[in-house]
Structures are given as C-alpha cells and as structure tokens.
Amino acid sequence: MSTVVANRPADFADSKIATVSFDRVLIETLRKTLKHSGYAELSNVYVEAHEGYVRLTGQLPNFYLKQVAQSLVHKIAGVELLRNDVVVD
C-alpha cells in the first residue's frame, strides 16, 4: 500500500524551511544592528520578521530613538515592509 500526498510542489517543504531560515537570519541581523547602534535603549526593541515584513515593538523614551530604530532597520537588506509599533513613554 502506498501513501498519497496531496498535490503540492515537490520543493514545498524546502521553500518553507528556506523562508524560516531567512526570517531567523534577518531577525538576528536586525537585533545586532539595533544592539550595536550606539543607543543602549534600542537593544530592548523587539523584532519580528516574516518574508520581508518586519515589525518593531517595545518601548523607548522618546520619538527620536523610535525614528533611529526605524531608520536603521529600514536600511537592512531583506526588509521589504516595516511597521514601527514602538511605544514612546
């Protein structure tokens, strides 16, 4: 008896793994960029990424740092769309 898999591309699993790996690498790159920015507060910004869509969350003490975080992240290769949900105290 053989097992039949639903019709899906042969490389479906590989493409899903590649996307997850790319997302992880992108998140790590973004975290390092924020951490080494020269602004200690940016290390506390939380980063999410999925297929080029990046979301920043967390709290910062002023709008200047929120803008700095956004500018640094936007420059990173692989960031297609950026949502900055960082809250200013």
Q: What pLDDT, on a 0 to 100 scale, did the predictor assign at position 21?
A: 86
pLDDT in the model for residue 22? 85
For residue 45, give both structure tokens: 């910004």
Domains in the chain and their CATH numbers? Answer: 13-88 (3.30.300)
Spell out where the chain has E strands. 46-50, 53-57, 59-60, 81-84, 87-88
Handedness of CA 13, 19, 22, 23 (dihedral sign): negative
Render pLDDT for 5-39 as a digit per residue (tens, 0 to 9): 333 344 444 566 667 788 999 999 999 999 999 99
What pLDDT sits at residue 20? 75
* Beta carbons of 38 and 65 less than 8 angstroms apart: no
pLDDT digits 0-9 by tens, 41-74: 999 999 999 999 999 999 999 999 999 999 999 9
